Structure 1
Amino acid sequence: MVRPLWPLFDLELTTPRLQMRVIRDEDLDAMVDAVQSGIHPPERSPFSVPWTSAPVVDLPANTAVHVWRTRAETTPDAWTLPLGVWSDGTFVGVQDITARGFRALRSVGTGSWLRTSAQGRGLGKEMRAAGLFYAFDVLGATLAGSEAASWNEASLGVSRTLGYEENGVRRELWGEKIEDVAYVRVTPETFRRPAWRLGVRGHESVAAFLRLP
């Protein structure tokens, strides 16, 4: 069904174990539940913006405001696709695909999180691979970048297995601490593609809204 008020809602991706779609308002309760169930140990945050450090009472509203702000700031030249991720009917995390000046640069960035109960099963790799499949094979991207604190072996390990290459280390303010941040990049040629095929529905609405060929 085409949703003319927000065409990005038409986008749906499927992998062998996951269903992914742009987050809608009716998904916010499940998203908040996943956040509040825990994403990382309290003593060490994987996020450059420490949004999970907010008081528990503020997390529901903060989560909703973030989704609404991302939606409101989306234009053909600066956009984020916040893909909610479900496994066996349970909301398990979010996979973002972001771009600035995409029609000229053809590059994207990715970021993600996964609730603690879903970690350790390879779902993080599967959802990142889905984002890369969509970016390269459907959107026509020629480069995808990512970054993580140098201690975040879970994220960097996924990057290595998918064919990302090192792209420098910078000393940065990461959350509330100063960290070495590792930057990585992958292209369609270096992407180590899983054997499965990505299911895609609703891309035509996305392409029209973002003014892509």
Structure 2
Amino acid sequence: MTIGRRTLAEAYPVLGLRIVAGPIELAGMDDGTLIALADLAAEGIHGDDEMPFQQPWTRTPAERFHLHYLQHHWGVRSRFAPGAWDLDLAVRYEGELAGTQGVSTRDFLATRTGETGSWLGRRFQGRGIGTLMRQALCAFLFDHLDFEQITSSAFDDNPASNQVSQKVGYRLNGVQRVPRNETWVSSNEYLLTPDALVRGPQLTVTGAEPVRKLIGLE
């Protein structure tokens, strides 16, 4: 059997995905983008007395921070399969690398749902970028990947993340106790359906069809 040659984006179509919505671009992350994102994250995402993530990856010691970041995303690539996948995309605002926006799902072909997650470098926060990038991803998931609902969560003491979910149209879907720093904190659980999505700028999408095939939709 002759298989033939492939480019990286042909072998792993996430690398060829590009979503443009006004000043926002979401795109697959090659290794050069990953190391640039690690640099951006190392500049700071939150204050020293804050922790918006359930997994406190931003507290990785400096000497291992970049390697840890790369290894996480290399692992995401290696595990990508129709039964379980994470779609992590680099966010650029007016052409400048600003953070990441992604979705994680298991048994998607049955559930048609997934959980969004994101981060922004501190110098990009407070400018409405978090709302725009979530709107862009959710519109893409509903319109191009056949999602029927999308979930998200945010600690009660993370008002910015809670506000983004509310602005995009998610509705509160319960509150959970989750562990953090050897104690517990309230996590607000949100649910979004296509009819409730507050849309942002119109999308221009390239590379969606190969991703659909990769996750088993074709």
Does the 8 A contact of 2:35 with 2:70 survive in 1? no
| 2:215 is equivalent to residue 210 of structure 1 | yes
Aligned residue number for residue 3 of structure 2: none
Q: CA deviation at 1:176?
A: 4.7
Q: CA deviation at 1:5?
A: 2.0
Aligned residue number for residue 54 of structure 2: 48
Aligned residue number for residue 5 of structure 1: 11
2: CA distance, partners of 1:139 / 1:30: 28
Q: CA deviation at 1:90?
A: 2.0
| 2:10 is equivalent to residue 29 of structure 1 | no
Go from structure 1 to structure 2 and tell me whether the alpha carbon gap of 1:202 and 1:176 turns closer, same or farther (over 3 Å shift).
farther
Q: Which amino acid aligns with 2:112?
A: R
Q: Which amino acid aligns with 2:117?
A: G
| 2:104 is equivalent to residue 98 of structure 1 | yes
Equivalent position to 1:64, from 60, 63, 70? 70
Aligned residue number for residue 162 of structure 1: 168
Go from structure 1 to structure 2 and tell me whether the alpha carbon gap of 1:51 and 1:150 turns closer, same or farther (over 3 Å shift).
same
Q: Secondary structure at the match of 2:9?
A: coil
What is the root-mean-square deviation in Å for CA atoms of aligned residues? 1.4
Q: Secondary structure at the match of 1:110?
A: strand
Q: CA deviation at 1:29?
A: 2.2
Provide, for residues 43-86 of structure 1, a one-character-per-residue CA deviation record: whole Å limited to 9, x for no partner.
11100000001111211001000110111111011111110111
| 2:176 is equivalent to residue 152 of structure 1 | no
Q: Secondary structure at the match of 2:194?
A: coil
Calculate the TM-score normalised by the size of structure 2.
0.93
Equivalent position to 1:199, from 198, 204, 208? 204
Q: CA deviation at 1:36?
A: 1.0
2: CA distance, partners of 1:146 / 1:64: 24
Q: Secondary structure at the match of 1:28?
A: helix
What is the identity percentage for the equivalent residue pairs of Structure 1 and Structure 2?
33
Number of residue pairs the alignment of both structures matches: 212
Calculate the TM-score normalised by the size of structure 1.
0.95
1: CA distance, partners of 2:27 / 2:8: 14
2: CA distance, partners of 1:88 / 1:192: 22
Q: CA deviation at 1:171?
A: 1.0
2: CA distance, partners of 1:3 / 1:70: 15
Q: CA deviation at 1:120?
A: 0.8
Large movers: runs of 4+ above 4 Å: none
Unmatched tracts of structure 1, length 5 or more: none
